[in-house]
Structure 1
Amino acid sequence: MTQPRRIHVWIGDFRGTDADWVSYFDVDELGSACGFCRDAGVDWFDLDMVSSYNAGTVMPVEDVIIEVPYSDQFEDEVLAACRSFDVTEASHCFTIVNFDGRVVPGSNYLGLTSVGAFAFSA
């Protein structure tokens, strides 16, 4: 039996370029100076634990949530969290499994809102 894990979810409307998106997460090139590292208060994070989704356009948040890994296990919870932070539409999301950085739900990360960490089993 596998141990439950937690997946942190950020979702919202990113209005930058693809290059901006890549640079924000470029811990390999920028190290602790990458945008996500600065926002999350970490020197490094494991890119293998990250997933991201670009819908290509703004759409109802429900349509983006289904792209979150393992979301079938916590879809109602993440949707309720989105509503509580007034996130009703989104173009992008990113997730990190078992992340231990400084994450404050409701905070803005590159135009996306941290909506929380959710338990799942893989």
Structure 2
Amino acid sequence: MYINPLERMKKIHIWIGSFVGTDKEFEVYFEQKNEACQFCLDIGIDEYDEDLIGIIPPITNYVNISELLEKIPVDESEISNIIIKCKDLRINKVNAIFYYLDSTISIIGNRFNQLQYIGKFNTSF
């Protein structure tokens, strides 16, 4: 069934946390070569749309959650909800974040590439 891309982009799935490793090790998780990448396997899809994913490489220093949230297209009204969810999960300082825009998928599980799945939120689109 066809779903308008703008409709798909109304929701953002967010993973955030502390990644220990190299940038290359972080990126391998998302590499789409001849077979499904580990990210795709983890969320139950054959391949991801490169226009709908945001992969922000880990930064050297740990920062407040709000600093990384500024880099993604999440609706401002959702930021406090995300910060509360992170605190509930005991996530305070982070160095990595990635997201996927897709209102049609449901994520099962909570740890992906060392990061915690926070949930699905409204986007700023």
Q: What range describes the TM-score normalised by the shorter chain of this pair? A: 0.7 to 0.9
**Aligned residue-pair number:** 118
Per-residue CA distance 1:44-94 (angstroms, 9 max, x = gap): 111210112233321222222222223424111111111121111110100
Tell me the TM-score normalised to structure 2 length: 0.81
Written as runs of structure 1 = structure 2, the 5 A alignment for 1:36-47 is: 36-47=39-50
Bigger fraction of residues in strand: 1
Deviates more, 1:36-45 or 1:110-119: 36-45
Percent identity of the aligned residues? 22
Does 2:81 align with 1:77?
Answer: yes
Trace 1:77-116 onto structure 2 (pairs within 5 A): 77-98=81-102, 100-104=104-108, 107-116=110-119
Following the alignment from structure 2 to structure 1, what is the Cα–Cα distance between the partners of residues 124 and 72?
Answer: 14
More displaced stretch, 41-50 vs 61-70: 61-70
Distance, in Å, in 1 between the alignment partners of 2:86 and 2:123 is: 18
Asked if the contact 1:42–1:102 (Cα under 8 Å) also holds between the matched residues in 2, the reply is no
Please, what TM-score do these two structures have when normalized by structure 1? 0.83
Gaps of 5+ in 2: 1-5
Partner of 2:22: 17
Give the gaps of 5 or more residues in structure 1: none
Q: CA RMSD in A?
A: 2.1
Higher helix share: 1
Distance change in 2, residues 1:70/1:101 (3 Å): closer
